[in-house]
Structure 1
Amino acid sequence: MNIKSLLLGSAAALAAVSGAQAADAIVAVEPEPMEYVRVCDAFGTGYFYIPGTETCLKIGGEIRATIYANETAVTDDGDDWESEVRARLTVEAKNDSELGTIASYIRIQATQSAALDRAAVVLDQAHITVGGFKVGRSLTWADDWGLEGESDGFFNNAKFNMMSYTYATDAFTVGLGIDDLSDIYVGNEVGLEGVVSGSFGAATVTVNGVYDFADEEGGIGGVLTADIGPGTLGIAGAWASGYATGYDFAAEWTVGAAYTFKATDKLKITPQVMYYGDVADSGVFTSDDAWAADLYIEYALAEGLKASADIRYVDVDGSDDGNWDGFVRLTRSF
């Protein structure tokens, strides 16, 4: 064997071995790229993009623990105090589209008092909004009527299956809606609701109105708030043409005032007084008047945690004495 043959044989052997090793080599597979959750700041804080979509999601909730006390009675058993825990879970989803912003809102709620064996979980609210249009189950604008304290009340029913349209700018809001009152009456009945609100510097004026087509009665309420000194002054008034079962007016008319004193960045103190003319009883307006006053205190313990308390006195014509009641409460929201 000559040198040339030896070199050619060695090269062939090396090529064969190299080919076998290449066939047995392990090739690492490139990992698929991971899609991390992205923060969505297009609709405010707390939103994040649902992976793979341009829809922004926000999850929130609240737990509220309260002890109520009443000079007369809180429960049917005649107890003068009772504890209650309420839990809420909210889910919001929003995205931009050729129709404008499409949004959905869901609020699930359960309330447990010591007198109940098991709390019922309910779909408290669920609605869809497209631009200024809203449809679903929601609170009416009249739910926002009133002052900062706890002694006011006029539109006692303020949550229905409904649809509405709202036009809003930075300083002006106007809206009109239809409420389904079928769960209150026998038969299909509806109500009409509306709102007009405007801000003028440090002052805001809001007027709410409703009309019950079944009872053919309506009510209107207005609130003026203005930043004065170290707090906010609120003046409210409302009037009804007659008692409407669908919206359950508390009285034929009412007026009141409150001042929310911002003692510190964390502490707010609100004294409030209200007067009611011809209060409602068993579905009719009576000739009895009433007045009420309360002191509401709220303190922010930390981010998302606040303590509050209220003490109230109510005096109705025809009753021997007035009545004291109130509560202490701890609320955790997120």
Structure 2
Amino acid sequence: MNMKSLLLGSAAALAAVSGAQAADAIVAAAPEPAEYVRVCDAFGTGYFYIPGTETCLRIKGYVRFEVQGASDNSLGDDRNWNARTRGLVTFDAKNDSELGTIGSTITVRTWADENGGSLELDEAFIQVGGFQIGEFYNPWDSDLSGETDDIGSNRLNSIAYKYKADNFFVYGSVDELTGFYSRTGDLAIGYDPYGKNSRVGLEAQVGGTFGVINANLLGSWDFATNDGAVRGLATAEVGPGEFGIAAIYSTGASAYYDLAKWTVAAQYAAKITDKLTLTPGAQYWGETEVDGRGEYFGRDIWRAGLTVDYKLAEGLTTKVSAQYENHNWSGDDDVWLGFVRLERSF
């Protein structure tokens, strides 16, 4: 075989291999159309379908910055001011099922000031129809619209049910109680009512709308301390704003309420313009001290003040609170409290 024949044979072999490779070449498939987020309007504004599912998700929250002030230097290190930042994000997921609407909520909250910061699970619960199970703020967390009143706040692990008609609702829950929201467990060495199996509480609330009036009555019983509290709250549209009043009676310090034996609060939120609201308010607490067993006695306290809310832009608001207290604490009768806040919500 001469050199010419060898070269021609090699060329033919290479051509054959190249043809085979060309025939077996992998062709990339055309990409499938992407599934874009779809709006879900079945459960209200802001929900969208999680891609590939029939579950609707809503994400909301806020970032808040405020500077607090107190004339009695009670904000730490003998200072009368403190800056504080808070962030909160809530994830709501809902879908329809043979059991009705199934929902779940997770809220994460963080804050930071000169002492550092923290990250916590603020709420986490499941809803099936009218049932709600998990950790969440209960009806004691409802208050009037200003910043003057303090008529309770509570977050507990609970099993609750709420029946709601057009203008009427009934709420009931069984709660696991802790001493976090009560002064009782910190008052006497060796007395911790929430370290026992009796750390159970019951709540019941009934309310409704009657013309321009919204009213509800809330009652709770703490089996750990054998004390309870009852609160009535009502609001009504009056003139250019909303008038609100609340009253509480407590048999003793409990996980539900521990600030006073009795209290009365009132406010009027006057809507001056679409952006500006002025809310003067006042509250009186009777018998605000507690003994080692959580029984009330001692001094009364009263507070009066003004809250100013202003909408700077869509999703951006500011709030200013100025409050005067007379409580005769450590010989200081007169205390001024307040804050300036900027909040971006989404």
Contact persistence 1:275–1:291 (CA under 8 A):
yes
**1:17 alignment counterpart:** none
Unaligned stretches of 5+ residues in structure 1:
1-19
Counterpart Cα distance in 1 of 2:31 and 2:245? 64
* 1:172-183 correspondence to structure 2 within 5 Å: 172-182=168-178
**1:265 alignment counterpart:** 274
Contact persistence 1:74–1:82 (CA under 8 A):
no
Instruction: Give how far 1:172 is off.
Output: 0.9
Contact persistence 2:290–2:296 (CA under 8 A):
yes
Counterpart Cα distance in 1 of 2:327 and 2:140? 24
**1:31 alignment counterpart:** 31
Instruction: Give how far 1:208 is off.
Output: 1.5
Contact persistence 1:138–1:160 (CA under 8 A):
yes
Instruction: Give how far 1:130 is off.
Output: 0.3
C-alpha distance 32-174 of structure 1, shift in aligned 2 (>3 A): same
**2:89 alignment counterpart:** 89
Once the two structures are overlaid, the 10-residue window that deviates more, 306-315 or 235-244, is: 235-244
Question: Partner amino acid for 2:148?
Answer: S
Once the two structures are overlaid, the 10-residue window that deviates more, 198-207 or 27-36, is: 27-36
* 1:213-228 correspondence to structure 2 within 5 Å: 213-228=223-238
* 1:196-211 correspondence to structure 2 within 5 Å: 196-211=206-221
**1:253 alignment counterpart:** 262
**1:148 alignment counterpart:** 145
Instruction: Give how far 1:28 is off.
Output: 7.8
C-alpha distance 315-46 of structure 1, shift in aligned 2 (>3 A): same
Instruction: Give how far 1:74 is off.
Output: 3.3
**SS of match in other structure, 1:215:** coil
* 1:181-330 correspondence to structure 2 within 5 Å: 181-182=177-178, 184=180, 185-188=194-197, 189-244=199-254, 246-281=255-290, 283-316=294-327, 319-330=331-342
Counterpart Cα distance in 2 of 1:54 and 1:28? 31
**SS of match in other structure, 2:141:** helix
Counterpart Cα distance in 2 of 1:57 and 1:320? 51
How many matched pairs? 310
Question: Partner amino acid for 1:120?
Answer: S
Counterpart check, 1:161 vs 2:157: yes
Question: Partner amino acid for 1:208?
Answer: L
Contact persistence 1:68–1:74 (CA under 8 A):
no
Contact persistence 2:107–2:121 (CA under 8 A):
yes
Instruction: Deviation per CA, 1:22-49: give whole Å up to 9, x if none.
Output: 9699978443232111010111111110
Question: Partner amino acid for 1:306?
Answer: T
C-alpha distance 295-102 of structure 1, shift in aligned 2 (>3 A): same
Counterpart Cα distance in 2 of 1:136 and 1:74? 35
Contact persistence 1:154–1:249 (CA under 8 A):
no
Instruction: Deviation per CA, 1:105-126: give whole Å up to 9, x if none.
Output: 0111111112x1x312111110
Counterpart Cα distance in 2 of 1:206 and 1:133? 20
C-alpha distance 242-182 of structure 1, shift in aligned 2 (>3 A): closer
Contact persistence 2:140–2:256 (CA under 8 A):
no
Counterpart Cα distance in 1 of 2:171 and 2:150? 22
**1:119 alignment counterpart:** 117
Using the size of structure 1 for normalisation, the TM-score is 0.87
Instruction: Give how far 1:187 is off.
Output: 2.4
Residue identity (%): 45
Counterpart Cα distance in 1 of 2:26 and 2:226? 83
Using the size of structure 2 for normalisation, the TM-score is 0.84
Contact persistence 2:302–2:325 (CA under 8 A):
yes
**Over 6 Å off, 4+ runs:** 22-28
Instruction: Deviation per CA, 1:253-292: give whole Å up to 9, x if none.
Output: 1112110000001111000011111113464412311111
Contact persistence 1:141–1:194 (CA under 8 A):
no
Question: Partner amino acid for 1:224?
Answer: A
Counterpart Cα distance in 2 of 1:254 and 1:240? 9
CA RMSD of aligned residues (A): 2.1
**SS of match in other structure, 1:120:** strand
Instruction: Give how far 1:207 is off.
Output: 1.4
Counterpart Cα distance in 1 of 2:151 and 2:37? 45
Counterpart Cα distance in 2 of 1:92 and 1:24? 51
C-alpha distance 305-281 of structure 1, shift in aligned 2 (>3 A): farther
**1:332 alignment counterpart:** 344
Question: Partner amino acid for 1:228?
Answer: V
Instruction: Give how far 1:241 is off.
Output: 1.8
Instruction: Deviation per CA, 1:53-98: give whole Å up to 9, x if none.
Output: 1000111111110100000013331001000001111111000111
